[in-house]
């Protein structure tokens, strides 16, 4: 019986030095880190870039309901209406008002990179009127986990970026509720106010 022997590697592979492999792994690690960190900065296909061109600045707009071929964003909850405001607070602050009528409704604030730095959900069994002022917020120290807010009562919300998106999501309970949801969303607003 022949003893078991590993197949001999091809000759070219035997020419590869360990320094080549180690150097490749080291550079590969650097490329991995740089590529991962660079993707959020590229900004080409992000949600803000997709929506921003079609949206006026500092005005709440109700989007057409998602339908095949007309999805504002991929994987967006389809049976809902959306009011959206592209904000720019480089000059003035912004007063945001919205009513959250039913469970599932949310008001959320996002940076251009998609970070959701504030979210207010509807409360069970009662309507919530939300009024808040979006102000410039300084640097990222604002976003330590202990300082994050879910529906906190303070009305001045510092934004980490001068631009971003305000989104009101209104899930539909059925077609019969659509007119009511649209009427409530039409009352939502984002209005510049002097600082």
Partner 1 sequence: MSLFSNIFINLAVFAAIALGGGLGSAWYMIEAGSRLSTRSFGPWTTWTAAGRPEADPYTRAHTVRNGLLPLASTLELTYRAKSDSRGGKINSACDYAIVMEGFDSAWWNLAAFDARGRLIHNPADRYAFSSDTVMRESDGRAIISLARDARPGNWLPIGGGSRVTLVLTIQDPALAAAVYDGASPKPLPPIERVACR
Say how many residues touch partner 1, by CB under 8 A: 67
From 7, 9, 145, 153, residue interacting with partner 1 (rule: CB under 8 A): 145
Contact flag: residue 24 with partner 1 (CB under 8 A) = yes
From 1, 6, 37, 179, residue interacting with partner 1 (rule: CB under 8 A): 37
Neighbouring residues of 140: CB distance < 8 A, sequence distance ≥ 6? 160
Contact flag: residue 18 with partner 1 (CB under 8 A) = no
Cα(77)–Cα(106) distance, integer angstroms: 12
Q: How far is CA 40 from CA 37, 47, 49, 138, in A?
A: 7, 11, 12, 20
Cα(62)–Cα(171) distance, integer angstroms: 13
Contact flag: residue 12 with partner 1 (CB under 8 A) = yes
Q: Are strands 106-110 and 116-121 parallel, antiparallel or unpaired?
A: antiparallel
Contact flag: residue 174 with partner 1 (CB under 8 A) = yes
Closest CA to 111 of 92, 137, 130, 91: 137
Contact flag: residue 173 with partner 1 (CB under 8 A) = yes
Cα(40)–Cα(46) distance, integer angstroms: 8
Contact flag: residue 35 with partner 1 (CB under 8 A) = yes
Cβ closest to partner 1, residue 15 vs residue 129: 15
Q: How far is CA 39 from CA 73, 94, 123, in A?
A: 18, 29, 36
Q: Which of residues 65-124 bind partner 1 (CB under 8 A)?
A: 66-69, 71, 73-79, 102-104, 106, 108, 110-111, 113-117, 119, 121
Number of neighbouring beta carbons within 10 Å of residue 84: 23
Contact flag: residue 43 with partner 1 (CB under 8 A) = yes
Cβ closest to partner 1, residue 17 vs residue 56: 17
Cα(100)–Cα(130) distance, integer angstroms: 8
In the complex, the residues that contact partner 1 under the rule CB under 8 A are 11-12, 15-17, 20-21, 23-25, 27-32, 35-37, 39-40, 42-43, 45-47, 49-50, 66-69, 71, 73-79, 102-104, 106, 108, 110-111, 113-117, 119, 121, 140, 143-145, 148, 150, 160, 165, 167, 171-174
């Amino acid at each position: 019986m022949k003893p078991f022997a590993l197949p001999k590697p091809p000759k070219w592979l035997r020419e590869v030095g360990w320094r080549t492999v180690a150097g490749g792994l080291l550079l590969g690690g650097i490329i991995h880190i740089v590529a991962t960190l660079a993707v959020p900065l590229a900004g080409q296909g992000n949600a803000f870039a997709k929506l921003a061109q079609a949206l006026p600045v500092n005005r709440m707009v109700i989007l057409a309901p998602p339908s095949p071929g007309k999805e504002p964003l991929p994987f967006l909850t389809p049976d809902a209406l959306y009011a959206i405001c592209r904000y720019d607070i480089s000059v003035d602050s912004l007063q945001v008002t919205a009513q959250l009528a039913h469970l599932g409704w949310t008001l959320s604030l996002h940076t251009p990179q998609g970070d959701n730095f504030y979210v207010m959900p509807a409360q069970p069994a009662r309507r919530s009127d939300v009024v808040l002022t979006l102000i410039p917020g300084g640097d990222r120290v604002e976003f330590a986990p202990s300082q994050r807010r879910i529906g906190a009562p303070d009305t001045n919300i510092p934004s980490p970026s001068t631009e971003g998106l305000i989104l009101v999501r209104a899930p539909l309970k059925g077609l019969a509720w659509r007119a009511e949801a649209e009427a409530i969303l039409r009352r939502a607003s984002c209005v510049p106010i002097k600082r």
